Amino acid sequence: MKRIIYVLLLLFYSPVFAQNEQSLDFQMAFAADAYNNGNYEKAIGHYDRVLNMQSNFYAAFIYRAAAKMQLNRLDDAMADYNRALEINSTAAGGWYDRANLKIQLNDFEAALPDLDKAIELQTEKADFYLNRGIVRTKLGFFAEAEQDFEKGKSLEPASPLIYNGFCNLYLKTKQYADAVKNCSQAIESQPFNAKFILNRGFAYQKLGNRDSAKTDFEKVLMLDSTNHKAHYGLGNVLTEKNEYPEAIAHFDKVIKKKPGYFNAWHDRGYTKLLSSDFEGAKADFGKCIELQPSQIIGYINRALAGYYLEDFEGALADLNNAVELASDNAYVYLNRAKIHIKLEKNEPACADLKKAKELNYPNKTELEELIKMAECE
């Protein structure tokens, strides 16, 4: 949270203080004090009085918007930023602040031109380049994002936020060694910053360095035991280490905090599948289908659990749904053929195997073996 500074010098107490107390300068000073002490409603009241006195006061709109953001009154805050920029379109800070609100709203496409304008007006602010780099990373403009982080770094070489920006970028571009390097640089400056440690944990995991990833995720949980992303990362690392009960316990915590988190349900289901808890896996993949019925992976994996449970009719129904969603997926046809073979339905099995072959199923040996089993011509 940024602090608001409004300087008002009182050289001595004056009998006219009570009258001056209602002046614009006093109201701005009182508003700044209220804001900095977390009294956002009170601050807004003072800014309201200022704007009643002077309806086109740029700073009052900007600061009132900041107070409204603290209260999550985001639409009202946007209206104030819009009005402020109508009054003064040459203030770089106004464009930057409005961009930050748009970032908070996940409207990255709208934030980008505001940041462009802020940088056009004020070219040497590291924060401006940092945030534009973050937005460009979100939008997939990776080369441009890297340029922004480089410019920000040239202005503030020691900024841990800029190193973390590089780290996030390199996670997106799968340059995991560079991600570890930049996250580590950020952590040197802020060794207890959970976000930096978390990002490095994910980078280590992608590099296959499970022990280092596990250490980082555990550090995050020491700082914040409720961090669902750390529990999720640790769950996946423990699955990779074949420590299934411990992994499931971490996925349980993610789901308890974020019951709509598709990936947590899926990955817990996958871990249960690996640990031969086929009923539990089937239930978790069923939840995936409930959450995202257009995602093919839920149907495929529930079919796999059903196969192991010898619920072949249920597995077949799931794979039929998968074919409806992805009629060009060779893997789905091949697996449906396996179910048909189990049900001794060779004709539809052969049709599916033919389709899998047309779609270039990669394991030719497996495909030919199934063709023989189904006695296809």
Distances (CA, A) of 8 to 5, 17, 84: 10, 13, 22
Span 2-40, pLDDT tens digits: 665 554 433 333 444 444 556 888 898 898 999 999 999
Written as six digits, the tokens of 192 are 């207890």
Q: What is the pLDDT of residue 377?
A: 73
Span 306-356, pLDDT tens digits: 999 999 999 999 999 999 999 999 999 999 999 999 999 999 999 999 999
Written as six digits, the tokens of 9 are 């010098």
How high is the mean pLDDT of the chain?
Answer: 94
At 6 the three-state DSSP class reads coil
CA 344, chain centre distance (Å): 46
Span 265-295, pLDDT tens digits: 999 999 999 999 999 999 999 999 999 999 9
User: How many beta carbons lie within 10 A of that of residue 36, not counting itself?
Assistant: 15
For tokens 């020491």, the residue is: 222
Among residues of the chain, what percentage have pLDDT more than 70? Answer: 94
What CA–CA distance (Å, rounded) separates 95 from 113?
A: 9
- Give me the long-range contacts of 179-187 (CB less than 8 A, separation at least 24): 179/203, 179/206, 180/204, 180/207, 185/160, 186/160, 186/161, 187/160
Written as six digits, the tokens of 317 are 């129904």
Integer Rg of the chain from CA: 29
DSSP class of residue 23?
S
